[in-house]
Amino acid sequence: MGRIKSRFVKASGQKIYDKVKTEITEDFQKNKEIVAKYAQIPSKRLRNSVVGYVTRLNKQEQKEEAMEA
């Protein structure tokens, strides 16, 4: 089982993902730069949590697209 994400992480991650869906990749390091460009998150730990969630959303969508094709 994974770790539970807070409402803030899920809500802000979803907003960022919806806004810049085309820029998000499966690479965590690249996504950190993208999220830093679009959001000001005060702590490093919280930012990494949001980036991890955004990366996870992208991987899930890629998997769904692969299953449909």
Residue 4: the pLDDT is 86
For residues 13, 39, 46, 29, the Cα torsion angle rounded to the nearest 10 degrees is: 80
- Consecutive 10-residue runs of the chain (69 residues): their mean pLDDT? 86 96 95 94 94 96 90
Structural domains in the chain, CATH included, are 7-68 (1.10.60.20)
**Residue 19: CB atoms within 10 Å:** 12
Tell me the whole-structure pTM to 2 decimals: 0.90
Contacts 24+ apart (CB under 8 A), 35-40: 39/12
> 55 exposed, middle or buried (CB, 10 Å; 0-12, 13-18, 19+)?
buried
Q: Tell me how far apart the alpha carbons of residues 10 and 52 are, in angstroms, rounded to a whole number.
A: 10
